[in-house]
Amino acid sequence: MLKLIKTLSVAALLTVVSIAGAQAAGGGIELKSATWKHEGLFGTYDRAAAQRGLQVYQEVCAGCHSLRHVAFRTLADLGFSEAEIKALAKEATFVGGPDDDGEMFDRPGQPSDKFPSPFANEKAARASNGGAFPPDLSLIVKARGGFENYLYSLLIGYDDAPEGFDLPEGMNYNTFFSGHKIAMPAPLSEDGVEYSDGTPATVDQMAKDVTVFLAWTAEPKLEHRKNMGMKVILFLLLMSGLFYAVKRKIWAELH
């Protein structure tokens, strides 16, 4: 019972934070709102969207942003086969060793490896991005107020700066970013990727897909948590009915 109360309390708190965060994330700017299949008590991840989102991450985002908390093997939860996971992991290179001679060597990735960082360290990342440090994306959806809607809004929010707006050199205008000045150039463009399932790769579609994928990386146990919550509620309802029936029987005999 205490666990259930805590779960409901956390859910209520997250609702409040989500509403407040949606405003705070953009400095009071109203974010674009999209419908996410994984929202709600019975929501589950859209696996087709998440798989497309992984493709967007790999082809568009991975050159600057790491995903260091996600292991290749966890992609099985999104419907990838063991062979597909091994193939994806082998595309990455990791430092192995030492060998019998005490030397380190490069090796192909394995399912147990986590997604590699595109840079050796933070200084290298800043040097390659004009002083800006691209954040790790593993938990980015939960780390920003507004959650999915914030990331989605940010990705589709690039536009020309209004007349008279002071936009420093090297910065980009984004409708939904606080202050509207962002160092990251617009990452998405029409047909920027070619989806294997034939889905048109519009900016809006790619933004939604990669948001779903990053929502999963931020909370891969979401569906398990919801299933456990439903089981707890059903158990409590069953026990409540049973206790009520026993109570009526006892009091009927006493009378």
DSSP string spanning 189-227? -TTSS--TT-----HHHHHHHHHHHHHHHH-TTHHHHHH
Mean pLDDT of the chain: 88
Ranking 73-77, 126-130, 168-172, 225-229 by mean pLDDT, the lowest is 225-229
Indicate the angle between helix axes 47-56 and 203-218, nearest 10 degrees.
100
* Full set of structural domains in the chain with CATH: 2-254 (1.10.760.10)
CA-to-CA separations, 13 to 4, 19, 254, in angstroms, rounded: 14, 10, 45
Question: Given a cut of 60, is residue 232 above it in pLDDT?
Answer: yes
Task: Tell me the average pLDDT across 93-120.
Answer: 93
Question: Given a cut of 50, is residue 15 above it in pLDDT?
Answer: no
Question: Given a cut of 90, is residue 249 above it in pLDDT?
Answer: no
DSSP, residue by residue, 94-112: EEE---TTS--EEEE--TT
pLDDT given for residue 27 in this prediction: 58
Contact 183, 125 (CB under 8 A): no
Contact 89, 72 (CB under 8 A): yes
Closest CA to 42 of 216, 217, 212, 223: 223
Contact 116, 93 (CB under 8 A): yes
pTM above 0.85, yes or no: no
Question: Given a cut of 80, is residue 42 above it in pLDDT?
Answer: yes
β pairing state of 105-108 and 172-173: unpaired
Task: Take residue 24 and report the two structure tokens written for it.
Answer: 């705070």
pLDDT digits (tens, 9 = 90+) for 46-64: 999 999 999 999 999 999 9
Closest CA to 170 of 182, 162, 159: 182
Question: Given a cut of 70, is residue 255 above it in pLDDT?
Answer: no
Exposed, middle or buried: residue 53 (CB in 10 Å: 0-12, 13-18, 19+)?
Answer: buried
Distance between CA atoms of residues 204 and 187, nearest Å: 12
**Confidence band of 238 (pLDDT split at 50, 70, 90):** confident
Task: Take residue 45 and report the two structure tokens written for it.
Answer: 């991840």
For the four alpha carbons of 170, 175, 176 and 179, in that order, the dihedral sign comes to positive
pLDDT given for residue 17 in this prediction: 39
Task: Take residue 240 and report the two structure tokens written for it.
Answer: 């409540």
